[in-house]
Chains A and B, each alone.
Chain A
Amino acid sequence: MWIYEKKLEFPINIKNPNPRLAKLIITQYGGPDGELAASLRYLSQRFTMPTGETKAILTDIGTEELAHLEMIGTICSQLLKGADCETLKACGYDPAYVDHGCGIYPMNASGVPFTAAYLQSKGDPETDLIENLAAEQKAKTTYEYLLHMTDDPDVIAPLRFLREREVVHFQRFGEALRIVQDLKDRKTYY
Chain B
Amino acid sequence: MDRDKMLHEIMALDFALIDLNLYLDTHPTCTETIELFNNVAKKRKVMIESFEAMYGPLTAINYTNSEDMWDWVEEPWPWERKYGCKE
Contacts and interface: CB of A to CB of B under 8 A. Distances in A.
Interface in A20-69: 52-53, 56-57, 60-61, 64
Interface residues of A, number: 32
Main SS class of interface, A: helix
A143 to B, nearest CB: 18
Contacts, number: 76
B11 A7 contact: yes
Query: Helix, strand, loop or mixed for chain B's interface?
Result: helix
Contacts of B23: 172
Given A3-B61, A74-B78, A78-B79, A8 B11 contact: yes
Interface residues of B, number: 28
A150 interface: no
A124 interface: no
B79 A77 contact: yes
Nearest to B51: A7
B85 A70 contact: no
